[in-house]
Chain A
């Protein structure tokens, strides 16, 4: 059962990474324009370099 000592922390860590990623996306306004963001990827305007 010593395997639990590794697996439980690992599962918590992975879940935690997901949680913090979600909180990060909420904090940085990434859900303000879901429709626009889905469409923007179809435009090739900033394909070669990132938007300044």
Chain B
């Protein structure tokens, strides 16, 4: 930047009101990411890369088959919609991904650092092990000393580099005056290195260089497994969020719509929301008529009328006609975000869960220190030989070192999460499986969770062929979910549309046309001219074919595939199943009866939902909450463990521990069973590790442990723990 660009800096900078930000240069290159869920082979890669690369404005395109994504660098004015239509022209399904939501997948620095440390520890431990084996098989005198010195020269830098994560964690724990698993690890490493170095300098017989390195290697392997499982879940969860690119259409003074990021919207902006679009902000409708689906916010399945003057909240879906809103609250102030406060309160209420690994560490860490200190004190008082006492203390620490304990949990969670991922469940939280295993009560939300959120025609058979033909002709052109479902049902019944003329859709009301000289209409009851006194117990649309009375077509929310089987399997497993919904009583009672759920609550407000869950928790139940809506987020965060479907709002997915990727609900039952098995395996692993310790520790305390015995105990326990975990796959 030249001085001319900032002439005001010549005066005192403190006097300038608001230092001007340097103008960002216009981006010279735009990076766009596409999700391509259907690519599967090398032909797909080359077709897409060639076609994308040949598009004007594209600088480079790279397809990643593992992540099923394409990363495109292009001129800044190129729009993702062009790329998507091009991909779809080639026959590939494509969705835009929000690159800012994909940050951690882009460069997994922590994972790489761990991998490099693991490689260094593996390399060093193999070399030192070779030297140690020759020592154990009889190398003596100068040869042994030389081997020990070479081992020391390899071990010291290798440990300093690869064991850094343990040093960090142990230091942090000690600074907070706590003990964690890393404190005994670091103590064992330091003591082993110090005594081995001392022994070597005195031409001693026993050096534990190999043990220190193998220990580091196994523990790093556990950490890496743990990290990879969580990184995979995080990247899949990020991809779900990245699929919802937050964009909105803002109208300028001349009425021109421009596409802007939702974050840039301000109070008072005029925003156009197209049919099928989600409200980006809270606002008041100034123009247009439509219906809004607020099922994700409240659980209601009946769409509500939206007309000028009506208030809408962020997250509602506009169904039929284009709407223009004036924003009344944006960003953090929207009702969507205000619910986040509720979530924060619910989360603080969640009892602090202490994982199995924490519990084991709490027992183990002080025990090991006391044992090793006692061994040291005992031998010192018995022989007054500091060198021998220190050697034995180091041997005790190394033999008890939690190699197997460090692998016991991550190996099992990795195997179980992998199996659940193949079944369509994404485990986001490290201790989610352990908590899932304890569940005895399952609370379901209705709309969008147990039901697919798509209405289904109930009384199609009561319609005459003429009524069906007219209804099909009217409904076929509409984007309204009721009309689409009606179209699908009538087409499936094999009906042809009746010829109609002057077809017009009146947003918010219905569709009308003329057929055989008569006016035919399909829409809401009040618009058809009916005074509805039966009450809106069931979702319905009315058909008027110009002769006879208007006819009501009823809809019911179809249960998701597998909902009945899931409920049945959960009840068979002895779990209490509860249905809590914000919807009106009639549909909730209907669904509960269909699925065989005896305990249900309807018309429940979001805060009451969380209160229900908290009450269940307080009465000693462990609650699994399954929900998708914004009204569920507080309950999701407050429950012992929570699951949300991938179709849920971002806020609900963030609040839940496990995300269900597919449509089918049955994997949840499998997850509950697998979680119980996984927890049992973890406990088994702890027992295996303990058994090895029980055999080896007396030897170490008696001073009979050699580095060979330490290496054997450590490797066999780690390998048997890993094999036991692999039985889960």
Contacts and interface: CB of A to CB of B under 8 A. Distances in A.
A12 B46 contact: no
B64 A36 contact: yes
Contacts of B143: 1, 4
Contacts of A4: 143, 146
Contacts of A34: 66
Contact of B119 (A19, A35, A39): A19
A36 B49 CA distance: 12
Query: What DSSP secondary structure best describes chain B's contact surface?
Result: helix
A45 interface: yes
B119 A22 contact: yes
Interface stretch (B120-128, B405-413, B564-572): B120-128
A33 to B, nearest CB: 4
A8 B150 CA distance: 9
Contact of B66 (A11, A18, A32): A32
Given A15-B127, A23-B119, A40 B66 contact: no
Contacts of B146: 4
Given A32-B66, A36-B64, A26 B45 contact: no
Contacts of A26: 112, 115-116, 119
Interface string A1-12: 100100010011
Contacts of A32: 64, 66
Contacts of A12: 127, 154
A4 B43 CA distance: 53
A10 B126 CA distance: 15
A23 B161 CA distance: 14
Contacts of A16: 123
Given A19-B119, A26-B112, A36 B127 contact: no
A43 B45 contact: yes
A26 B393 CA distance: 39
A8 to B, nearest CB: 6
Given A8-B150, A26-B112, A36 B126 contact: no
B43 A43 contact: yes
A16 B124 CA distance: 9
A33 B130 CA distance: 35
A14 B112 CA distance: 23
B41 to A, nearest CB: 6
Interface in A33-51: 33-36, 39-40, 42-43, 45
B570 to A, nearest CB: 36
B2 interface: no
Of A1, A8, A39, most B-chain CB atoms within 10 Å: A39
B192 interface: no
B65 interface: yes
Interface string B142-157: 0100100010001000
B65 A35 contact: yes
B63 interface: yes
A18 B63 CA distance: 29
Contacts of B154: 12
Contacts of B126: 15
Contacts of B112: 26-27
Contacts of B530: none
A28 to B, nearest CB: 11
A37 to B, nearest CB: 8
B42 interface: yes
Interface string B48-79: 00100000000000011111000000000000
Contacts of B41: 39
Contacts of B67: 33
Interface string B602-634: 000000000000000000000000000000000
Contact of B63 (A19, A23, A36): A36
Nearest to B112: A26
A34 B130 CA distance: 32
A40 B41 CA distance: 9
Interface string B16-58: 0000000000000000000000000111011000100000000
A50 B67 CA distance: 24
Interface string B99-124: 00000000000001001100110010
A18 to B, nearest CB: 7
A27 B109 CA distance: 10
B135 to A, nearest CB: 13
B123 A18 contact: yes
A34 to B, nearest CB: 6
Contact of A33 (B66, B115, B116, B150): B66
A16 to B, nearest CB: 7
Contacts of A27: 112
Of B42, B64, B131, most A-chain CB atoms within 10 Å: B42
B60 to A, nearest CB: 10
Nearest to A36: B65
Contact of A15 (B66, B116, B123): B123
Contacts of B115: 26
A52 to B, nearest CB: 10
A35 B146 CA distance: 46
Contacts of A43: 42-43, 45-46
B45 A40 contact: yes
A19 B124 CA distance: 10
A1 B63 CA distance: 56
Contacts of B150: 8
Contact of B46 (A1, A33, A45): A45
Contacts of B120: 19
A12 to B, nearest CB: 6
A18 B131 CA distance: 19
Contact of B123 (A1, A19, A35, A40): A19
B161 to A, nearest CB: 11
A27 B108 CA distance: 11
Interface in B345-401: none
B329 to A, nearest CB: 41
A18 B150 CA distance: 19
A13 to B, nearest CB: 11
Contacts of A22: 119
A23 to B, nearest CB: 6
A36 to B, nearest CB: 3
20 contacts: A8-B131, A8-B150, A11-B130, A15-B123, A16-B123, A18-B123, A19-B119, A19-B123, A26-B112, A26-B116, A33-B64, A33-B65, A36-B65, A39-B42, A39-B45, A40-B42, A40-B45, A42-B42, A43-B46, A45-B50
Given A23-B116, A36-B63, A43-B43, 20 more contacts: A1-B143, A4-B143, A8-B131, A11-B127, A15-B123, A18-B123, A19-B119, A19-B123, A22-B119, A32-B66, A33-B64, A33-B66, A33-B67, A36-B64, A36-B65, A39-B42, A39-B45, A43-B45, A45-B46, A45-B50
- A-B pairs with the 4 shortest C-beta distances? A36-B65, A39-B42, A35-B66, A33-B64
